[in-house]
Amino acid sequence: MLEVNHWCHEKVIYTPSDSRTSSPLASVRTAYGRCGEESTFTTAALRAVGIPARQVYTPRWAHTDDNHAWVEAWVNGKWYFLGACEPEPILNLGWFNGPAYRGMLMHTRVFGHYEGPEEVMQVTPAYTEINVIDNYAPTAKVVVTVVDTEGKPVSNAAVEFKLYNYAEFNTVARKTTDTEGRAFLSAGKGDMLAWASKDGRFGFRKISFGKEEQVQLVLDKKPGETETLELDIVPPVEGAIPANVTEEQKAENAKRLLEEDVIRNAYVATFYTSEKAEALARELQIDPGKTVKFLLGSRGNWKEIADFLRETPAEERAKALDLLEVISAKDLRDTPAAVLRDHLENSHSENKELFTEYVLNPRVANELITGYKGFFQQAVDTAWAAQVKADPILLVDWVKKNSMIANGLNPQNIPIMPMGVWKGRVADEQSRAIFFVSLARSLGIPARIEPVARKIQFYHVDKWVDVDFDTVRQVTVKQGNVVASYRPIKAIENPKYYSHFTLAKVREDGTLQTLNFRGNENVDMGLGNTWAGLLKQPLSLDEGNYMLVTGTRLANGGVLARITFFPVEAGKTTRTELVMRESADEVQVIGSMDAEAKFRPIDKDEETSVLSTTGRGYFIIGILGARQEPTNHAMRDIAQLAEDFNQWGRSMVLLFNNEQGWKNFDAAEFGSLPQTITYGIDTDRKITEMLVKGANLPNGNALPIFVIADTFGRIVFVSQGYTIGLGEQLMKVIHKL
């Protein structure tokens, strides 16, 4: 198991990406993978040599944002875990030993029908999902009884267990009540939100695993009611899964990791370079900046992208670049030239303004993009296609009539290819939506799955028209406005979507759908928009009922949450408040950064990541201005408390914006500094700019900048510019962590 994981590390290294999961061989080709892809790849590699293996994942962490996936493998009659493509010297050891101990739910899927000892979460025709949280954390069981307003048990009610994560209450488990109105869940000893619904009524409450064994949920609410309530969410306590590893084992493992990096980097060195891409741009007489961007982004798929550009006629090359611009970063890394060529050659529309994004673009949702436009144009009768372009409702009616919905046949929700839906005439709802948009674009009709509310739409007569396959007559939903006032608190001047707040629509059946105001679709989750960009001015929303969630994440992982329900009426403006709760006693999370960001250590030629330098836990990053008085003050303050920082024992990474800054710096001027300092160069100011954005600083020119952050990139302290007593301020926060 350990050897296979070392081999996997030779092939793939972690990098964040979108939600579509690349295949194992695509990950090898690109030498990249997020945790879901690394674990898929490593599971496949273990199985390939006869070792039973499975992917395990926590749908969301309880003590911080995001999620994670890893691998379990069976040997000597027992399941052991390991970090995929992250080799450790022994089994049952990974950087996530601590976070997993604080986890509240861990899932894995057993393909087929399973009758083992673990708690069954879900049974489908393809797999059984089981709960393996007991392997990682102290757990407790809670039985939820759902009753109506008269106190009678409600059978077949949906019960969703929700964790606060990315400023929403995200459903991590779904159960259905039995004939006595009961459903249960085993989870780590922390807080969740239990949400029950049936026939348009719902009820919810906070439940505390380990403190409560039986709770009751009353279906006493319905969409349209207004209410505000506050919840203090407490995650499981800190701890770690024990692992005994010697210093000798660590040293040998570190040596092997470096050797594997050399092997992988030698392969990566065969990818396109900027110079080679610029030469191709000159040869083809196309935009050099875009060519460099696309060829470098294609990584191991460079031959397909280069062949696509070379084989495109000169008069079509600008259009080819437009096509590469609208597909995702991951599409660049695994899409064959033939697929791109199909869309380039078979995309036509009279709407020039929307053509590139909503006709030429092969990407609809999170499907694997395929070459379907030429197929559909051959398969669809020409005369009927002309009628559909004149009246796209004909296409809506045809898809309703000719595609049977069978969600149960696709329990993993892997999108069916558009040509597969055409041939089989059967689909799940999401695959039907992708099929409709793909078919419309193939006929020259701009179409999309609208990103915020995820509505299916086509563009006709100068407007977007909503598509609802469950209604007889297509009607675009009327809209109203919502405005939220906000009184800034000290730590958060302009709250961010998916970081500090979210909006969810309360559906007619009593369930929730979080609106997708995401800022960057090329990262796993993203920080999205801000209050000032969304709710300071009127925001147009479909009429209906909504829930505003805000949450202040504390450094100990807890959350001060607030929920507000409000209606939106057509043609009217609803006014509400966005309130960020504060704690006078606890350290709060005030920003975010990427702990995997890279810098160049002073004594090395190659860049390394912050995280690999600091290790797991909290750390300090500083951006220094050599020979500048504010930086001199800061360094003297830190020197005065050197022993305190040494006793704390966590790393301090101090960076300069260029080589000259380091040459101008003399650490001896400040006396005895902490022994935990690593000096480096912030190449191209990447980390400086990241901190400016993540900590909401006005600019990166006022130095020094100091932050305290942790493994998960949560910033809990920031200081910029001239500050007296910086060392004491840092230690004050550290003592509270």
Mean pLDDT of the chain: 93
What was the pLDDT predicted at 528?
Answer: 56
In this predicted structure, the answer to whether residue 643 has a pLDDT above a threshold of 90 is: yes
Query: Residue 14: its pLDDT value, please?
Result: 86
Q: Indicate where the chain has its CATH 3.10.620 domain(s).
A: 2-131
Q: What is the dihedral of CA 261, 267, 272, 274, to 10 degrees?
A: 30
The CATH number for 591-736, chosen from 3.40.30.10, 1.20.1640.10, 1.10.10.1100, 1.10.490.20, is 3.40.30.10
Contact 517, 548 (CB under 8 A): no
Q: Which two tokens stand for residue 522?
A: 């090329």
- Determine what percent of the chain is predicted with pLDDT higher than 70: 99
- CB burial class (10 A; 0-12, 13-18, 19+) of residue 513? middle
Residue 67 and residue 524: Cα distance in Å, rounded?
9
| CB count in 10 Å sphere of residue 636 | 15
CB 90 within 8 A of CB 97: no
Q: Of 620, 701, 610, 627, whose CA–CA distance to 663 is shortest? A: 627
Q: What confidence tens digit (pLDDT) does each residue in 673-701 have?
A: 999 999 999 988 999 999 999 988 878 88
Helix (H, G, I), strand (E, B) or coil at 517: coil
Report the Cα 18 to chain-centroid distance in Å.
Answer: 7
- Whether residue 709 contacts residue 597, with contact meaning beta carbons closer than 8 Å, is answered with no
pLDDT(527) > 70: no
CATH class assigned to 134-225: mainly beta
- Residue 41 predicted with pLDDT over 70: yes
The separation between CA 263 and the C-alpha centre of its own chain, rounded to angstroms, equals 29
Backbone angles phi, psi at 624, to 5 degrees: -105, 150
Query: Where do runs of H (alpha helix) occur along 336-417?
Result: 337-345, 355, 373-379, 382-390, 393-402
DSSP letters for 564-608: EEEEE-TT-EEEEEE-----SSS-B--EE--TT-EEEETT-SS-E
pLDDT digits (tens, 9 = 90+) for 423-468: 999 999 999 999 999 999 999 999 999 999 999 999 999 999 999 9
Residues carrying CATH 2.60.40.1120, the chain: 134-225
H or E stretch at 55: strand 53-58
The residue that leads in pLDDT, 730 or 725, is 730
What pLDDT band is residue 66 in, cutting at 50, 70 and 90? confident
| For range 339-365, the mean pLDDT | 97
Structure token digits, residue 2: 């350990």
Look at residues 339, 223, 320 and name the one whose alpha carbon lies nearest to residue 281.
320
Amino acid present at 304: E
Pick from 63, 81, 188: nearest CA to 133: 188
How many CA atoms, within 13 angstroms, populate the side-chain half-sphere of residue 14? Answer: 19
Residue 642 has pLDDT above 50, yes or no: yes
Which tens digit of pLDDT belongs to each residue from 212-257? 999 999 999 999 889 999 999 999 998 889 999 999 999 999 899 9
Matching residue, tokens 């879900």: 122
Of residues 554 and 491, more confidence is placed in 554
Query: What angle do helix axes 302-310 and 317-326 make, rounded to 10 degrees?
Result: 150
Please, which pLDDT band fits residue 469 given cuts at 50, 70 and 90? Answer: very high
Between vectors from CA 524 to CA 439 and to CA 583, what angle results, nearest 5°?
A: 135
Distance CA 159, CA 736 (A): 37
How confident is the model over 704-728, as a mean pLDDT?
89
Residues 6+ apart with CB under 8 A from 596: 14, 15, 609, 610, 611
Q: Which CATH number fits domain 2-131: 2.60.40, 2.60.120, 3.10.620, 3.40.1000?
A: 3.10.620
Q: Residues, the chain, total?
A: 737
Tokens describing residue 265: 């980097």
At 557-605, the pLDDT tens digits run 899 999 999 999 999 999 999 999 998 788 889 899 999 999 999 988 8
Averaged pLDDT, 259-285: 96
According to DSSP, the β-strands at 677-681 and 652-656 are parallel
Q: What pLDDT score was predicted for residue 737?
A: 85
Cis peptide before 704 (omega within 30 of 0): yes
The rounded distance, in Å, linking the Cα atoms of 654 and 610 is: 11
For the cut 70, the answer to whether the pLDDT of residue 18 exceeds it is: yes
pLDDT tier for residue 520 given thresholds of 50, 70 and 90: very low
Element (H, E) at 207: strand 201-208
> Per the structure block, which two tokens stand in for 33?
């993978």
Task: Write out the two tokens for 305.
Answer: 């992208």
pLDDT of residue 697: 87
Cα 464 to the center of its chain, rounded Å: 28
Ramachandran bin of 696, using left for φ above 0, alpha for ψ from -120 to 50, beta for the remaining angles: left
Lowest mean pLDDT among 100-109, 161-170, 623-632: 623-632
Phi, psi of 313 (to 5 degrees): -55, 150
Q: Which two tokens stand for residue 645?
A: 């920082």
Contact predicate 144/212, CB 8 Å: no
Predicted confidence (pLDDT) at residue 504 exceeds the cutoff of 70: yes
- Among candidate residues 731, 558, 708, the one with its CA nearest the CA of residue 644: 731
The CA distances from residue 3 to 8, 26, 27, 88, 89, in Å, are: 9, 21, 19, 10, 10
